[in-house]
Structure 1
Amino acid sequence: MKPKHLLLALVVVALWGGNFVVITLGLQSFPPILLAALRFVLAAALVPFLARPEISWTRMIALGLAWFVAQFSLLFLGMAVGMPPGVASVVLQSQVFFTFLIAAIVLGERPRWRQVAGTGIALAGLGLIGLTAGSGGVNLMGFSLVIAASVFWALGNVLMRGAGKADMLPLIVWLSLIPPLPLLGMSYLFEGPERIVHAMTHLNATGVGAVLYLTVCATLVGYGGWGKLLKMYPAGTVAPFSLLIPVFGALCAHLVMGETFGPQRLVGMALILAGLVVVVLPIRSARIASGRAGGGPPARSGP
């Protein structure tokens, strides 16, 4: 992976890491499905200013339903019923396994040994971080909803691979047309008009700021960058970067909410970074290495 794309991946996962704390703050002002809907209402407002990507409506609808409607309604509901932000950021990373599985079945991609080994190391780190969470803050319903959200994240990852060469910002903006009506309808049915009216008539700075962050940082910048990476690299190469999300999420929780971390969680973060080194950095063969020792030019590895 080229350095500029590596940097883009790190920026995206940093924004998504902070996303979990922002969701927690936003849920103090809005019911979960309504908050998910508002995330995309503002993004869709940019549609008149951007040409529609040359992608079939069938694929766009499938992407919008998987990535946006299903993933975020399930994630927000899971966090609303008891999954704390740090634990949710860990559990959601099971999407890596589902991405490998769906890409192998649908696209015929097979994970390379470095992807498998690096992901295994990073998942050991995720396990250590997960073990630091207090069991009292997790319940089966919340856990199940976040796992289901990870399946739809993975499905969207794979669907994105067939989206052609469309520019990412217009694509994400046009995809944002799809979630508002289904999510608002779900909010009306399951959360009720009274909760919707109360939330919209009692706006505060925290709630508005959360919606703006979710729209601009997490949706436009985050998914725009993530989609660009998935167009340029196999799903199995891009997906492991999401393992860094809990690291940035923990840092954000510390800076914003004063959360502290013990040695076990710090070791887990180090393992995640080590796993990403195995997955991302090129490993040259002995023949290439000997060629460089003899004065030959360095060979390019990866895309």
Structure 2
Amino acid sequence: MTLRDKMLALLVCAAWGANYVPSRWLLDVWGPFLLLSMRFTIVALVLVPFYRTPTGKIRDIIVLSLVLGTVHFGMMFGGMAMGLDVSSTVISSQLGVPFSCLLGSIIFQDRLGRWRSLGMLVSFLGVIIIAGSPAIAENYLPFMVACGGALAWGYGNIYIKRFKDYPMLAVLGWMSLFTAPQLVLLSYLFEEGQWQALQTTDMRVWLSLVYTVLLSSIMGYGVWYSLMAKHRVSQVVPYSLLIPVFGLTFTHVAFAEELTTQFIVGGFATIIGVGIIILRKPEQQHLEQA
């Protein structure tokens, strides 16, 4: 990889890690389903006009929209809205990689091997350590909800292989088109005061939405998968290990969240475990959680 491409990979990972900050700001004003419905609606409006209808893939797009769009993002943002701190959300989202390996071994009989099994064990052990910390002891339900979102991402990461011949931005656009109505319905059923919240929204919130849509979703995925197409996967994917590092750094600066020794040890173990899995099987492409 050239220095330029290395810098682009770092910038994308930094943008995805920083995305937890504007997401938290948005959740302070909007409910999770309203926020996500706005996000996916705008992504669909921007991307769908540029890509043809995925012929013969509508059913798969609908399934993906339910699993990745509604369940994964709904549970991850729902956990934050229920009171889970951002740092714990960053770490719990890393479980998507070991969950993906575990589901792959169950559904496709993929052989895990010694190293990937070790990586799964270490990452799950790290989350168990975090789960015993005082911050999580009072928020077990939100933490489990966020972990459920990581499980949904793990399945979605397997399911998305059905679209290997399609541009990733096309998949993102059409998935968003089908995800948005689901989230609008959930917002209507479970949230109140949406119109008032939109009317009283200040500029920081609107800029946060622009960041999550344009920088994190569209530009992030566009640059990332252009790098994946240009270079070997083994050269690009390891950079994704920096996402939780950037995420924890930005959230600590923005919200001054206390990082206890127990949390740091557990978070480090989780990231190491995920690193073992990724580095031992770099050929597997996956959709980042941003």
**TM-score bin, normalised by smaller chain:** 0.7 to 0.9
1:72 shift after superposition: 1.4
**Which SS does the other structure have where 1:178 is aligned?**
helix
Residues 1:100 and 2:101 aligned together: yes
Provide closer, same or farther for how the CA distance between residues 127 and 221 of structure 1 changes in structure 2, counting only shifts above 3 A.
farther
Q: Is there any run of 5+ residues in structure 2 with no aligned partner, and where? A: 285-290
User: Is residue 31 of structure 2 the alignment partner of residue 31 of structure 1?
Assistant: yes
- Contact map agreement 1:28 1:207 (CA 8 A) in 2: no
Does the aligned pair in 2 maintain the 1:52–1:171 contact within 8 Å? no
| Residue 218 (1) aligns with residue 216 (2) | yes
Name the counterpart of 1:66: 67
Asked if 1:176 is matched to 2:176, the reply is: yes
Measure how far apart 1:45 and its partner are. Answer: 0.8
- Between the aligned partners of 1:267 and 1:4, the Cα distance in structure 2 is 33
Q: Distance in 2 between matches of 1:229 and 1:112?
A: 28
Higher mean displacement: 169-178 or 250-259: 250-259
- On the 8 A contact 1:55/1:166 being kept in 2, the answer is no
Q: TM-score with structure 2 length normalisation?
A: 0.78
Alignment of 1:120-135 (within 5 A): 120-126=121-127, 134-135=135-136
Distance across 1 between alignment mates of 2:283 and 2:71: 33
CA distance in 1, matches of 2:14, 2:126: 17
Deviation at 1:161, TM superposition (A): 1.3
- Name the CA shift for 1:25/1:302 in 2 (closer, same or farther; >3 Å): closer
TM, length-normalised to structure 1: 0.75
Gaps of 5+ in 1: 284-300
Letter in 2 for 1:83: L
Q: Answer yes or no: is the 8 Å Cα contact 2:94–2:271 preserved in 1.
A: no
1:297 alignment partner in structure 2: none
Cα-to-partner distance string for 1:214-254 (whole Å, 9 max, x where unaligned): 212332245557778999979xxx7x987654322210112
Cα pair 2:91 2:270 within 8 Å, conserved = no
- Within a 5 Å distance, the mapping from 1:198-277 to structure 2 comes to 198-222=196-220, 245-259=243-257, 261=259, 266-267=264-265, 271=269, 274-275=272-273
Inter-CA distance 4–105: structure 2 relative to 1 (3 Å threshold): farther
Paired with 1:103 and 1:7, the residues of 2 have a C-alpha distance of: 32
Bigger drift between 271-280 and 82-91 goes to 271-280
Matching of residues 189-200 of structure 1 within 5 Å: 189-192=189-192, 195-200=193-198
Identity %: 28
Partner of residue 48, structure 1: 49
- 1:87, 1:115 → 2: CA distance? 23
Question: How far apart, CA to CA, are the structure 2 residues paired with 1:215 and 1:170?
Answer: 15
CA RMSD of aligned residues (A): 3.8
Instruction: Spell out the pairing of 1:74-153 with structure 2 (5 A cutoff).
Output: 74-126=75-127, 134-135=135-136, 138-153=138-153
Deviation at 1:140, TM superposition (A): 3.5
Count of residues paired in the alignment:
280
In the alignment, the residues of structure 1 paired with residue 97 and residue 113 of structure 2 have an alpha-carbon distance, to the nearest angstrom, of 14
Query: Alpha-carbon deviation of 1:213?
Result: 2.1
Structure 1 counterpart of 2:71, one-letter code: A
Give 1:123 deviation, angstroms. Answer: 4.6
| 1:40–1:180 Cα contact (<8 Å) kept | yes
Matched residue of 1:29: which SS? coil
Distance 1:166 1:6, change over 3 A: farther
Cα deviation, 1:42-90, whole Å, max 9, x if unaligned, reads 1111211333345610111111111111111222222111111111222
SS in 2 for 1:108: coil
Separation (CA, whole Å) in 2 of partners of 1:6 and 1:180: 34
Residue 64 of structure 1 aligns with an amino acid whose one-letter code is S
The answer for the alignment partner of 1:287 in structure 2 is: none
